[in-house]
Structure 1
Amino acid sequence: MTLIGKSISLALTSLLLMLGACGHGFGGHPASTQSRDSVASQTIPFDRLDFPQYHFFASAWDDSRQPVRCALIRTPSEWRAIMHPAPVMFWSQPRFALPDAFYDSQQILLVARVTPADTDDARVLDIHSVTLHEGTLNVDYQYREPLETAGFMVTNSLLVAIPRLKTPLARIQFIENGRTVCSLTPAI
C-alpha cells in the first residue's frame, strides 16, 4: 500500500472511530441498539452520585423479605420519605439532601442493600447501564460481596442520577448481576 493509501485508510479509520464515539452506531457506546425484534433500546445518560459532603442513609425496610430496596426519587418530598439524615458530630455545615433545583431536570434511581461493611463500599454496588426499551427503564448494575469486612452491617446505596424523561415509564426494572431483583411501576 502506498503512503497515500495508508493515509486515506488511517483517515477513514479515525473518522469511523470518531463517529462511533459520538453514538452513530460504528462502535463505542451507541445512542441506541437494535434488539432481536428490531425495536430500538435507548441508552440513557447517567451519573453515579457519590456524596462525601452529604450524610444520609436509606430508611429501614425488611431486608429479610426484600434484600434489595429500589426506588425512583423525583422530588424533594420523595427524597425525605426514603432517605434520612445522618448527623455527625464536629460537622460545621451539615448537608443532608440535594438542592431542590436538582429535581427540575434530574431524578434519582436508588438501589440499597444491607451488607457487611467493606473497606471500599463503592465497589460493592456498581452501575453498568440504564436503558429504555418499549416504556421499560432497565437499570443494570453489579453487586459484589464485600472482600474485607469490618465486622458490622451497613446499608450500601447506589444512587444514579438520570435526566427527567419525556416518555412516561410503564415500569422500571433493576437488574442485579443479570437477574431482575426489583420492578417498579411509577405513578405519573
Structure 2
Amino acid sequence: MKEINYKDMKFNPFNLIGGEWMLVTAGDETSCNTMTVSWGHIGCLWGHNDPTAVIYLRPSRYTKKFVDEETYFTLCVMDKSFKKQMAYLGSVSGRDENKIANAGLTPVYADSSIYFQEAKLVLICKKVFAQELKEDGFLYQETIDESYPQRDFHTMYVGKIEKVLVRDDEYIR
C-alpha cells in the first residue's frame, strides 16, 4: 500500500459507496470488528474544507460499539473477488464468531486504526462528530416507514480523512 493525498483521488463516489461497498472497521490489536456498509458520503466539511467520510450505523450492529469507543475508524474498499466475503461480513455478527478470520482477512494495525491488508483503498478517518438520527428530523414519513419500521435509527458518524492508502493506481488521477 502507498499513501496518497486525498486531492489525488479519482473515483465515482456513488459507485464506490453504493456499488462496490466498503468495510467499516474499528478497534485495536486485542479486539476489533468490521461490517459491510453501503450507505455513506465522501466530501468536504468544516474548517478548511477538510476531507470527510460519513457513515451510518444502526444501534444493533456490534461494530457500532467499537466505532463509539475508538477515536479512529477505517473504510476499506475490497476487490470484486471479495464479493462473497463482503456479503458474509454484512450479515454475520462479530459477537457470535471471528468473522474477520473466517473471511480470510489480514488485519493491519497502524496509525491508531485497523484496516485490512487485502484492501485496494483505505481511508483512515478520525471521528469528529456522532449524532443519532431523530424521527422528528425526517421530512417524509415514507422514509421512516421504508427504512425504519422498527424505529432503529442509525447514528451518523463524520470522520476526517487523515490518510488515504491505495494498492495500485486505480484510484489515482
TM tier, smaller:
under 0.3
- Give TM-score scaled by structure 2 length: 0.26
Indicate the structure (1 or 2) with the bigger Cα radius of gyration: 1
Q: What TM-score, normalized by structure 1, do the two folds share?
A: 0.24
Task: Name the structure where helix makes up a greater proportion of residues.
Answer: 2
Query: More relative contact order in 1 or in 2 (CA 8 Å, sep 6+)?
Result: 2
